[in-house]
Chain A
């Protein structure tokens, strides 16, 4: 069993739909990170969470420390949101443990 598990592994949506990607972790972490990787390969850090909720534009990330669970929500999805979304748990000394990634495809 992976220390960081994401679901679903693949997600297809129509433009405008509300999307949720889930992440559960079993490792001890100091922060939970959500990353986005586009087909070109580059990785962008979307959020770093240690508690509660963060919002950036149409993206919202939440974390429940007690349940060791985080969610990434995308409101009013758009084809440009199509990417791989990766959840990772970070320790205080900088080690990141990654989930397998969720491949999101948003159709116009």
Chain B
């Protein structure tokens, strides 16, 4: 157990639907990062939150949004889902990003 908890582990949903992925960071970590791993694109950075504030955005689609709550857990919302959104979604946490990242076990999203 890395200390970073992601739920659910697996999710199957239909095109056009909306889902929410949840991440609880390791105790004491203020930063949460979201990544997408698909077969054709590899790992891609989506977004970074630090203590509730958005710090950096990567290749995140407009249909996707995220937030970090006062208790530091984060949610990634994916809407109007398309087949191409099927991927592994990882979150990671760190204290400042200067000492490495701890990854969660990922959520495997399948859009059918």
Given A31-B98, A94-B55, A96-B33: A86 and B103 interface contact (C-beta under 8 Å)? no
**B55: chain A residues within 8 A (beta carbon):** 93-94
Which of A45, A86, A88, A100 has the largest number of chain B CB atoms within 10 A? A45
Min CB–CB distance A24 → chain B (angstroms): 16
Given A41-B108, A90-B97: A96 and B45 interface contact (C-beta under 8 Å)? yes
Does residue A25 face the partner (Cβ distance < 8 Å to B)? Answer: no
Interface residues of B (CB under 8 A from A): 2, 31, 33, 35, 42-45, 48, 50, 55-56, 58, 88, 90, 92, 94, 97-103, 105-106, 108
A96: contacting residue among B35, B50, B102, B108, CB under 8 A: B35
Instruction: Label chain A's interface by main secondary structure.
Output: strand
**Are the CB atoms of A86 and B58 closer together than 8 Å?**
no
**Are the CB atoms of A94 and B31 closer together than 8 Å?**
yes
Given A41-B108, A42-B106: A98 and B44 interface contact (C-beta under 8 Å)? yes
Instruction: Label chain B's interface by main secondary structure.
Output: strand
Residue pairs across A and B with Cβ atoms less than 8 A apart, 19 shown, are A31-B98, A33-B101, A41-B88, A42-B106, A43-B92, A43-B103, A44-B2, A45-B92, A47-B100, A48-B99, A48-B101, A88-B43, A92-B97, A94-B31, A94-B48, A95-B45, A96-B45, A100-B42, A101-B42
Contacts between the two chains (Cβ within 8 Å), count: 63
Distance between Cα atoms of A92 and B56 in the complex (Å):
10
**Are the CB atoms of B97 and A98 closer together than 8 Å?**
no
**B50: chain A residues within 8 A (beta carbon):** 94
Min CB–CB distance A59 → chain B (angstroms): 14
**Are the CB atoms of B48 and A93 closer together than 8 Å?**
yes
